[in-house]
Amino acid sequence: MSAFPALRYPTISLAGLLVCAMVAALFLGYAPLSLGNVLSALVGQGDERYVFIVQEIRLPRILLGAMVGGSLGMAGAALQGLLRNPLADPSVIGISSSAGLGAVIAIYYGLAAASAIIIPAFAIAFAFAAMLVLVWLAGRDASILTLILAGVAISSFAAALTSLAMNLSPNPFSLNDIILWLLGSLANRSFTEFWLAGPFMVAGWGALYLARKSLPALSLGEEAAASLGVDLRKLRLLVIFGAALSVGGGVAVSGAIGFVGLVAPHLVRPFVAHDPGRLLLPSALAGALLLVVADIGVRIMPGETELKLGVVTALLGAPFFLWLIIHTRRSMR
């Protein structure tokens, strides 16, 4: 039997589960809605309160959750293939930290009060700047180790500047806003953020998808891949460019969401015959499903204060990461 069914069926199953989760998210929340209320609200009819809840609160939140999760999952799968490291995720190239620094600077200087798009715009701009540094290195035929070290350096520098901004915050309100944003959340997001960050994420998906055919050869090593006709420079540029655009756009509207890019590829890898190229689409669907389900859990969890989405993904992802390290060490013996 060919490997095609191994890709097709997980993809169809994950797509079906994702649609079910997104539909369920329309009904669930602090104000549970009936089927009639949701259907009427989707077409702009019925009670104005329900129309507002569905169209202005839940629908953009659900769509952004799916897109951000999909971006993290696909970028994680592509980076694990490029770096040939099962422990790699989007944070390893410093894009997430750089986007976070951009948002923190906007909050620090009080620019967020001017417009709702200021924070996402600053986050995307700083993510783009980090991407240019990595693309410059990749364009100079840098080794995989050089790219990893550059990503770690960018991430550490951005994290240091973020900590400095928090330490020098002019008032406790700015500090509180910075902390809440860094915790990661999809609450109070609108279609304004969707239309701002969406094109960047879609463009990133396109670049990552173009790299899919070359990733399997890279698993044999750079020299073997080059002998098979793979353009390593082009492959690095596609993956870095795609990961930066998709993850930068996602982090710009959601804040820091950890571990989705690490966990999603590992959940679906056995079902695609461990093929890095065929892993991209299922990983995107798995990441989208994880984030939508996690956001549903955040919304229905009892309590006066909504738990931040980044906290939930970290609580679930950190134990998985520890298990993965132990499993990787055992497999290397």
Q: With 0-12 CB in 10 A as exposed, 13-18 as middle and 19+ as buried, what is 159? A: middle
- Residue in the block written with tokens 């890019």: 261
Residues 263 and 50 sit within 8 Å (Cβ to Cβ): no
pLDDT digits (tens, 9 = 90+) for 271-323: 877 778 788 999 999 999 999 999 988 888 876 777 788 888 888 888 877 87
Residue type for 305, please? Answer: T
CA dihedral 150→152→154→158, nearest 10 degrees, is: 180
Domain containing residue 246:
4-331
Residues 101 and 252 sit within 8 Å (Cβ to Cβ): no
Least confident of 146-155, 246-255, 297-306: 297-306
Pairwise CA distance, residues 140 & 33, whole Å: 55
| Separation of CA 314 from chain center | 13
Of 16-25, 208-217, 265-274, the range with the highest mean pLDDT is: 16-25
Least confident of 98-102, 109-113, 214-218, 305-309: 109-113
Question: Can you give the pLDDT at residue 230?
Answer: 77
In the chain, how many domains are there?
A: 1
CATH number at residue 32: 1.10.3470.10
pLDDT digits (tens, 9 = 90+) for 208-236: 999 888 888 877 777 777 777 777 788 88
